[in-house]
């Protein structure tokens, strides 16, 4: 297994390199279960978000949920919204955005519970995620926010990986990760190491 060493918010993490194409690998970044990392990322992201005025934090399920909850606590928000990838039995009048036909096949719809959609109407929101890579998820959340009448004022992610297809105004990120092309064509200063 090959790894890429990431230094972020004063912490060091070894990220496994995952094959995503014939000659392409990405460093797999996950915050799930890493309380120390979530706490430090949330502090930094919350501090950066104080420059913006918004009513609610919104993010996609599942990996970002611990981070968005911690940011909400730090900022004193009593509520945040999570966009699910399918309609759940607890939902009433859900609002759905489906992936466009040219999106990769693994992209799922995004669903917002009807009462959450009502709360977001005519509100300003900050979109939170752990990793921004292609930008597809962000674009879908943006479209969902438009659909429910909310205005996105800022996007905040822990990691920006590679170059996104879309450009986002007011995009905050803490660190970047390269996309790796074969072992001898890495787009980074640091070679991954084998363990």
Residue 195 lies in a domain: no
Check if the beta carbon of residue 31 is closer than 8 Å to that of residue 8.
no
Q: How many folded domains does the chain comprise?
A: 1
Q: What is the pLDDT of residues 59-109, one digit of tens each?
A: 998 899 999 999 999 999 999 999 999 999 999 999 999 877 666 677 789
Specify the pLDDT at position 165.
59
Secondary structure (3-state) at 57: strand
pTM of the predicted protein model: 0.88
Specify the pLDDT at position 195.
34
Residue 166 lies in a domain: yes
Specify the pLDDT at position 92.
96
DSSP per-residue string spanning 6-31: EEETTEEEEEEEEE-SSSEEEE----
Residue 16 lies in a domain: no
Q: How many CB atoms lie within 10 A of CB 90?
A: 8
Residue numbers of the chain with a pLDDT score lower than 50: 184-195
Check if the beta carbon of residue 159 is closer than 8 Å to that of residue 176.
yes
Residue 170 lies in a domain: yes
Long-range own/partner contacts, residues 135-140 (CB < 8 A, 24 or more apart): 135/164, 135/165, 135/166, 135/168, 136/99, 136/103, 136/104, 136/107, 136/165, 137/60, 137/107, 137/110, 138/164, 138/166, 138/168, 139/166, 140/97, 140/99, 140/107, 140/110
Closest CA to 45 of 71, 9, 18, 7: 71
What is the CATH classification number for the domain harbouring 55? 3.40.50.2020
Full domain range(s) for residue 145: 34-177
Residue 187 lies in a domain: no
Residue 143 lies in a domain: yes
Residues sharing a CB contact under 8 Å with residue 73, sequence separation 6 or more, in sequence order: 42
The residues pairing with 6 across neighbouring beta strands, listed in sequence order, are 13
Specify the pLDDT at position 186.
46
């Amino acid at each position: 297994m090959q790894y890429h060493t990431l230094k972020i918010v004063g912490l060091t993490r070894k990220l496994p390199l995952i094959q995503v194409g014939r000659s392409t690998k990405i460093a797999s970044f996950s915050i799930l279960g890493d309380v120390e990392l979530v706490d430090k990322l949330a502090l930094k992201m919350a501090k950066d978000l104080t420059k913006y005025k918004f009513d609610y934090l919104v993010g996609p399920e599942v990996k970002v949920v611990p981070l968005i909850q911690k940011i909400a606590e730090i900022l004193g928000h009593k509520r945040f919204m999570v966009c699910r990838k399918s309609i759940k039995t607890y939902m009433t009048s859900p609002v759905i955005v489906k992936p466009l036909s040219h999106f990769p096949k693994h992209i799922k719809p995004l669903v917002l519970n009807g009462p959450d959609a009502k709360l977001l109407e005519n509100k300003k929101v900050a979109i939170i995620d752990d990793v921004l890579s292609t930008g597809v998820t962000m674009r879908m959340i943006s479209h969902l926010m438009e659909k429910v009448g909310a205005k996105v004022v800022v996007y905040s992610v822990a990691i920006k990986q590679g170059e996104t297809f879309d450009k986002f105004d007011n995009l905050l990120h803490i660190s970047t990760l390269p996309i790796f092309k074969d072992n001898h064509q890495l787009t980074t200063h640091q070679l991954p190491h084998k363990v």
